[in-house]
Each structure stands twice: as structure tokens, then as C-alpha cells.
């Protein structure tokens, strides 16, 4: 068996395992419990089945910031959903999935909203009536709006480089 350095094990995880997972995550949601299971298995490999030497919040940072550039599955899934949202906001982008998404948004609680639904406060609403993929798009958007200190609205949304 080869003995890999810590950075070598991160490279193996990123290049061999996560690249296959990213391909799937582009179009399919993976339930959070499976994301946690995959993350834990990767961490076991990273630390050779020993207790972690560095906190998870540190190792997911870039190397220049003192981390290991360890891939975070949930963050990546949110990033993929935000990429879809950038296409949803783009008026020149035409695709069947976009019309389908806007249809489901318009039927949400009979509000007859389309893209405007993303600018509503949905924290106390039951978004689980929407298809799971669209739920994750909304959750990704809400996460950005809560954690980024800028005012995002329908007029300036394409100016910012979220995507």
C-alpha cells in the first residue's frame, strides 16, 4: 500500500471520488444524510481512520487560507443550484426546464409568481410541495441572500458574481 501525504489524499478524494459525484450533483439532489455519509467516509480516508487533526471548517478552506481545499459536498450542490439560477435569471437563455421551473413557481401556494418567488420571504412556507430540485434552488438562493451583505433584487441580481 502506498503512503500518501495529507495533500495527496485530498487530491485522490477530489480527483477520483468527487469528480464522479459532481457529475451526478449537477442534475440530482442527494439527501443530506448521504452527503454526510460520503463526507465521513472521505474524512476517514483523509485521516487514516484516526481522529481528525484539524477542524472540518478549516480543511475546506483554500490552501492559501490555511486549509486543504477539501471538497464540501453541500456547498458544491448549492453552487450547482445557483448556476441554474443564473440561467433562470437570464432572459436570453431558453430551455424546457426553465419553463417548467417557472410553471412550478407560479403554482406555489396559488401566488401566481414566477421568478418573483425568489424575492419573497419563504422561511415559514412549506416549499416541500415543489419538486426537490427546485426546493434546493430556492434554499441555495436563500442561503446566499442571508449570508451575503448586499441588497439583491430583481434589477441588480445579474450584476453580482454569485455564479
Give CA 21 to chain center in angstroms.
13
pTM of the model: 0.74
pLDDT digits (tens, 9 = 90+) for 34-57: 999 999 999 999 999 999 989 999
pLDDT digits (tens, 9 = 90+) for 3-35: 899 999 999 999 998 988 998 888 888 888 999
- Tell me what percent of the residues of the chain surpass a pLDDT of 70: 89
The answer to whether 73 touches 30, Cβ cutoff 8 Å, is yes
Show Cβ contacts of residue 38 under 8 Å, excluding neighbours closer than 6 positions.
21, 30, 73
Q: How far apart are CA 16 and CA 25, in angstroms?
A: 15
Q: What is the pLDDT of residue 150?
A: 61
Nearest to 25 by CA among 81, 72, 95: 81
Q: What average pLDDT does the structure give for the chain?
A: 85
Q: Give 10-38 as a DSSP string.
A: HHHIIIIIIHHHHHHHTT----HHHHHHH
Amino acid at each position: 500500500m502506498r503512503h500518501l501525504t495529507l495533500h495527496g489524499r485530498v487530491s485522490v478524494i477530489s480527483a477520483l471520488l468527487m469528480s464522479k459525484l459532481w457529475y451526478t450533483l449537477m442534475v440530482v439532489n442527494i439527501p443530506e444524510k448521504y452527503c454526510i455519509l460520503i463526507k465521513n467516509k472521505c474524512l476517514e480516508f483523509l485521516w487514516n481512520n484516526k481522529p481528525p487533526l484539524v477542524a472540518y471548517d478549516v480543511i475546506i478552506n483554500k490552501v492559501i487560507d490555511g486549509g486543504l481545499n477539501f471538497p464540501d459536498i453541500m456547498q458544491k450542490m448549492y453552487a450547482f443550484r445557483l448556476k441554474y439560477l443564473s440561467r433562470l435569471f437570464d432572459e436570453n437563455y431558453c430551455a424546457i426546464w426553465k419553463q417548467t421551473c417557472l410553471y412550478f413557481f407560479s403554482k406555489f401556494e396559488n401566488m401566481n409568481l414566477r421568478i418573483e418567488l425568489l424575492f419573497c420571504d419563504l422561511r415559514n412556507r412549506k416549499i416541500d410541495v415543489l419538486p426537490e430540485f427546485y426546493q434546493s434552488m430556492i434554499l441555495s438562493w436563500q442561503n446566499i441572500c442571508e449570508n451575503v451583505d448586499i441588497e439583491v433584487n430583481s434589477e441588480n441580481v445579474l450584476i453580482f458574481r454569485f455564479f
